[in-house]
Amino acid sequence: MHLFIKKHQKTLISCCGIMLVLVLVGLLWVTMGRSDKKSDLTSDNSSSQSDYYLPKASDSDSISVDEMKIERVVVTKLLEISEAGGDWGGESIVQRTQTFMVRILTGPYKGVEAEMQLDLTDITGTGKGVIVAKEGDRLLGYFVMDYNTYTLYGTCTGFQRDIPLMWLALGFIVLLILFFGRGGIKSFSALIITCLMLIFVMIPLVYKGMDPVLAVAVFGFATIVVTLLMVHGPSVSSLAAGTGAIGGVLTSALIAYVLRKIIWITGTVDEESISLLYTENGSNLDIASILFAAIVIGSLGGTIDVSVSIASSLEELKGKMGDNITGWELVRSGMSIGCDIMGASLNTMILAYVGSSFQLLMLFSAYNISLQEIINNEMIAVELLRALAGCFGLLMSVPITSLTAAVFSSKGNMGEFRPNDIKMIRMISSAGEKLSGAWSNALAEARTSAARKEERDKPEEPQVNLFEKARQHYDEMHSGEEENGE
């Protein structure tokens, strides 16, 4: 037993840490309690949905609505497409309805043939928002029974899109495991746990009235701990990455919290946020705080990614160099690595946020709206706030991760801090040296140029004809000898 514990020590610590976090999250969920009004809300919605989806039920008391549950069907025979006049927002439009026979694939009427209708009304008038059903298509819909004729009537609510998506997800899982083995299984498991906590814990807690700021703080901490322990296990790199990720998320949260009041964010930026206000608990929801929580969640994945990359790189570097590298040199290496990572990460984050608002930007371009109006639009301002807060989070996660990894990896051997270890100081110092060198070169060139100019400005001395001078000297010598001879 002792040998087993010693051999699997890291795995056991990881499992205990993950279980502890999940238990704490579960206790928080239980403490908040399940909403007692959930069943009432469901029943109210069911009745309203039945009135909407099943117009035939209001025409006759002999039609009773069975349990309003979506069933899967497949189209077996096309019948007709009917048209009728209608009204939509005060404008007259043509309402088109497609009728066909289907075979029910699930539920109490499995295998039964029934008639179903699909609304083909094109409210845009462009014809691009309508898909006509064909034989063999798989759809979803509600059904009611006319007990006078014992005939089922159904209304289509949409096409089945989950099965192709499930096959796509399955293909991704297979490739993940095929390429990365146990690491792929751990990564996928961490993703599943994160999604489950988000869907079944955080979102219900916020809807029940929990402060979105507290909810996102708990969710963010739990996600970071579970992801790092499950994927990387307990280690110095996990500690450094976790510290850096938490620091980056807190930075994003602080910026978003301060800026949401400075730039007057209401939170009602799209149809979904407005629709939340009309739910049963809508009056108790703080839409601005929910938007703030969404911004923090958006920055969470990027900060974890950057922090893990830097921490793993520094752990590998420390393993290769051993005691030959000091703590401050590790910090410098981490900052250099972070500089390379930040270029791609920032680009990815900005493009992701631009992609989420791409249709809106195209709409602004189509109507020639000025840049000033675009930036001051609340929806665009929110997306910019998301992007900038996330970028600040990524930025701050780099030095925090590098410093944490250096402190715990060096075991006290931090070495001597040099101002040049900070990239900004190194850049300023280098720029100063280059500027000083350029100034010295400019002065030297100026002196050389002045000397050349002075040399050029000197009066030219008459050129001496050496032959004439030698001849003159010869003549003088001979003339002197002749005088002496006389």
- Here the CATH number for the domain that contains residue 87 is 2.40.50
Indicate the DSSP class of residue 200: I
pLDDT digits (tens, 9 = 90+) for 423-439: 656 666 677 777 777 78
Residue at 474 is within a domain: no
Could you tell me which residue, 396 or 49, shows the higher pLDDT? 396
Q: What is the pLDDT of residue 483?
A: 58
Residue at 243 is within a domain: yes
Which sign does the torsion angle of CA 66, 72, 77, 78 carry? Answer: positive
Q: Is the per-residue pLDDT at 401 higher than 60?
A: yes
User: Using H for helix, E for strand and C for coil, what is the string for 423-481?
Assistant: HHHHHHHHHHHHHHHHHHHHHHHHHHHHHHHHHHHCCCCCCCCHHHHHHHHHHHHHHHH
The model's pTM is: 0.67
- Residue 177: CB partners within 8 Å, gap ≥ 6? 184, 185, 188
Which pair of tokens denotes residue 264?
């007057």
If asked whether residues 263 and 122 sit together in one domain, one would say no
pLDDT digits (tens, 9 = 90+) for 50-84: 333 333 433 433 334 444 688 999 999 999 988 87
Which pair of tokens denotes residue 107?
């539920």
In terms of DSSP bridges, do strands 63-64 and 71-88 run parallel, antiparallel, or are they unpaired? Answer: unpaired
CA distance 18 to 107: 38
If asked whether residues 255 and 128 sit together in one domain, one would say no
Closest CA to 46 of 65, 59, 20, 26: 65
H-helix or E-strand spanning residue 137: none
If asked whether residues 152 and 248 sit together in one domain, one would say no
Q: In this prediction, what percent of the chain has a pLDDT beyond 70?
A: 77
Beta bridge partners of 114: 102
Domain boundary among 376, 400, 421: 421
CA distance 63 to 57: 6
Residue at 75 is within a domain: yes
If asked whether residues 152 and 249 sit together in one domain, one would say no
CA distance 255 to 296: 10
Q: Which of the four pLDDT bands, split at 50, 70 and 90, describes residue 49? A: very low
Residue at 47 is within a domain: no
CA distance 233 to 228: 6
If asked whether residues 337 and 223 sit together in one domain, one would say yes
Indicate the DSSP class of residue 174: H
Tell me the C-alpha to C-alpha distance, in Å, between residue 40 and each of 6, 204, 293.
53, 16, 28
Which pair of tokens denotes residue 99?
């009728």
Could you tell me which residue, 280 or 57, shows the higher pLDDT? 280
Residue that is written with structure tokens 């499995």 in the block: 110
Domain boundary among 160, 193, 216: 160
Q: What angle do CA 252, 273, 264 make, to 5 degrees?
A: 55
Q: Is the per-residue pLDDT at 455 higher than 50?
A: yes
Tell me the C-alpha to C-alpha distance, in Å, between residue 141 and each of 132, 159, 173.
15, 9, 30
Q: What is the pLDDT of residue 77?
A: 93
If asked whether residues 289 and 394 sit together in one domain, one would say yes
Residue at 188 is within a domain: no
Residue at 26 is within a domain: no
Could you tell me which residue, 256 or 30, shows the higher pLDDT? 256
CA distance 400 to 306: 11
Average pLDDT over every residue of 17-27: 74
Separation of first and last alpha carbons in the chain = 138
In terms of DSSP bridges, do strands 71-88 and 138-146 run parallel, antiparallel, or are they unpaired? Answer: antiparallel
pLDDT digits (tens, 9 = 90+) for 245-279: 999 888 888 888 888 778 888 877 777 788 888 88
If asked whether residues 413 and 352 sit together in one domain, one would say yes
CA distance 6 to 16: 15
Q: What is the pLDDT of residue 27?
A: 74
* Pure H helices in 181-235: 182-197, 203-208, 212-231
Q: Is the per-residue pLDDT at 313 higher than 50?
A: yes
In a 13 Å sphere around the CA of 336, the CA atoms on its Cβ side amount to: 13
Residue at 116 is within a domain: yes
Residue at 232 is within a domain: yes
Number of C-beta neighbours around residue 161 at 10 A: 10
CA distance 315 to 295: 31
Beta bridge partners of 153: 115, 144
Q: What is the pLDDT of residue 64?
A: 40
If asked whether residues 96 and 151 sit together in one domain, one would say yes
Single-letter amino acid, residue 384: L
Q: What is the pLDDT of residue 74?
A: 94
pLDDT digits (tens, 9 = 90+) for 207-226: 888 888 788 888 888 888 88
Residue 81, φ and ψ in degrees, nearest 5: -125, 115
- Residue 31: CB partners within 8 Å, gap ≥ 6? none
If asked whether residues 280 and 149 sit together in one domain, one would say no
Which pair of tokens denotes residue 38?
């959930």
Q: What is the pLDDT of residue 48?
A: 38
CA distance 214 to 98: 49
Q: Are 112 and 121 spatial neighbours (Cβ–Cβ below 8 Å)?
A: no
Beta bridge partners of 116: 100, 154
Q: Is the per-residue pLDDT at 140 higher than 90?
A: yes
Helix axis angle, 327-356 to 287-321, nearest 10°: 140
pLDDT digits (tens, 9 = 90+) for 359-393: 878 888 888 888 888 888 888 888 888 888 888 88
CA distance 235 to 314: 12
If asked whether residues 139 and 280 sit together in one domain, one would say no
Q: What angle do CA 418, 426, 306 make, to 5 degrees?
A: 90
Q: What is the pLDDT of residue 230?
A: 83
Tell me the C-alpha to C-alpha distance, in Å, between residue 421 and each of 115, 332, 409.
75, 5, 17
Q: In this prediction, what percent of the chain has a pLDDT beyond 90?
A: 10
CA distance 140 to 74: 9
Q: Which of the four pLDDT bands, split at 50, 70 and 90, describes residue 36? A: very low
If asked whether residues 338 and 394 sit together in one domain, one would say yes
Number of domains making up the chain: 2
Single-letter amino acid, residue 425: I
Q: What is the CA radius of gyration of the chain?
A: 39
If asked whether residues 147 and 245 sit together in one domain, one would say no
CA distance 357 to 437: 48
Domain boundary among 125, 160, 195: 160
- Domain holding 62, by residue range, is 54-160
